[in-house]
Amino acid sequence: MANTEDLLKRLGVSIDAGTLRLALTHRSFAYEHGGIPTNERLEFLGDSVLGLAVTDALYRDNPELSEGDLAKRRSAVVSTRALAGIARDLELGEYVLLGQGEKLTNGKNKASILADTMEAIIGATYLDNGIEIARAMVMRLVAPLLGSAVAMGAGTDWKTSIQEIAAARRLGTIDYKVTGSGPDHARTFEALLTVGGLPYGSGSGPSKKEAEQEAAAASWQLLRHLAHEPKSAAYSVSAPANGTGPAGASDKALAPGSGESA
């Protein structure tokens, strides 16, 4: 495991070495080492702390929003996809204790493992430091998401959202063209979403599902910006590979059907 002092510096908190090790212990590692405790109880605790901190911030900062809109934003900010993006920015995968099977399948980059470990870290911070320090850490980590397109957009299921907006505008059939590269234990997938045969958004990730979600998120955000553009024009945006969603995407105009920058 990498030097956890560097991780604590990125988090901006101090956590007892034993508690931190527990927070980083995935069940696959625990099972291979005689059934030692896993990070799942800390994950349970951290989920509640995260939910409270984000809910409180959204409630106080957005007095004009309805309960439904607040719930949508909270869902986006605390989603597996968003938490995995935060974890990748922290390079958390380098510190997670994994069993051999998970190591061979690039478990340190799996969104579910990263998100669960991030919640366990939040739980460990609360356990050792109390609610105020834990809340402050959560706010530092999620602040970029609270006002971003991820939080203000469609929520967590971008593939469903892109289907809805494409159907409402009668843009045509949605298709994902997915390619993979790299060795079997560390595959990276690239997805390009087309609507009505025209390219819109691209994304990447350690699984086909994540790459497609990235492409859908990028495409949804682009379609929102192009609400008044001619339907025949096609564009492409690239979703960030770290899983943080369309907030950092950049627009590239395409010639209709060309798939290449104009």
Q: Point out the residues that are catalytic.
A: 47, 119
Q: Are 153 and 76 in contact (CB under 8 A)?
A: yes
Of 186, 193, 214, 198, the C-alpha closest to 254 is: 198
94 is in an annotated binding site: no
Angle at 257 between CA 240 and CA 195, to 5 degrees: 65
**Inter-helix orientation angle 111-129/80-89, to 10°:** 80
Decide if 74 contacts 146 (C-beta within 8 A): no
- By the 10 Å C-beta count (0-12 exposed, 13-18 middle, 19+ buried), 49 is classed as buried
Q: Is 67 annotated as a binding residue?
A: no
Q: What is the distance between the alpha carbons of residues 156 and 129, in angstroms, rounded to a whole number?
A: 31
Residue 43 annotated as part of some ligand binding site: yes
Structure tokens at 46: 């951290």
Distance (Å, whole) CA 61 – CA 57: 6
What residue has token string 């009668």? 170
- List Cα–Cα distances, 255 to 173, 218, 261, in angstroms: 19, 18, 7
Residues that constitute the known binding site for Mg(2+): 43, 116, 119
Residues that constitute the known binding site: 43, 116, 119
